[in-house]
Amino acid sequence: MTKHELLHAHLETLMQGGIGPDQRLPPERELAEAFGVSRMTVRHALDRLERERRVYRVQGAGTFVARPPIAKTIELTSFTEDMRRRGLVPGSVLRVFETVAAGPEIGYALALSPADEVVHVERVRTADGIPMCLEHAYLPAALVPGLTTLEGSLYEQLHRRYRIRITRAEQSIRATVLDQQAAARLDAPPFSPALLVERTAFDERDRPVERAMSTYRGDRYSFEIAVTTAAAGSPARAGRRSGDE
Ligand code: GLP
How far apart are alpha carbons 71 and 90 in whole angstroms? 21
Is 85 in the same domain as 191? yes
CA of residue 212 to ligand 1 center, whole Å: 8
Indicate if ligand 1 lies below 6 Å from the C-beta of 124: no
Neighbours of 234 (CB within 10 A): 14
Is 51 in the same domain as 88? no
Structural domain of 60: 3-65
How far apart are alpha carbons 63 and 100 in whole angstroms? 51
Of 98, 123, 105, the C-alpha closest to 211 is 105
Per-residue pLDDT, 35: 84
- Element (H or E) spanning 194, and its range? strand 193-203
Is 14 in the same domain as 77? no
Is 81 in the same domain as 190? yes
Per-residue pLDDT, 19: 84
Per-residue pLDDT, 177: 96
Helix (H, G, I), strand (E, B) or coil at 29: helix
Helix (H, G, I), strand (E, B) or coil at 157: helix
Contact, 219 vs 200, CB < 8 A?
no
Written as tens digits, the pLDDT of the chain (245 aa) is 777 788 888 888 888 777 888 889 999 999 999 888 899 999 988 998 888 778 888 888 889 988 765 444 567 889 999 889 888 899 999 999 999 999 999 999 999 999 999 999 999 999 999 999 999 999 999 999 999 999 999 999 999 999 999 999 999 999 999 999 999 999 999 999 999 999 999 999 999 999 999 999 988 888 777 677 765 544 444 444 333 33
CA dihedral for 228, 232, 236, 240, sign (positive or negative): positive
In ligand 1, which atom is closest to the CA atom of 78? 11
Please state the domain count of the chain: 2
Per-residue pLDDT, 52: 78
Per-residue pLDDT, 243: 36
How far apart are alpha carbons 113 and 108 in whole angstroms? 7
Contact, 55 vs 25, CB < 8 A?
yes
CA of residue 128 to ligand 1 center, whole Å: 17
Indicate if ligand 1 lies below 6 Å from the C-beta of 216: no
pTM recorded for the entire structure: 0.67
How far apart are alpha carbons 48 and 41 in whole angstroms? 11
CATH number at residue 43: 1.10.10.10
Is 114 in the same domain as 214? yes
CATH number at residue 211: 3.40.1410.10
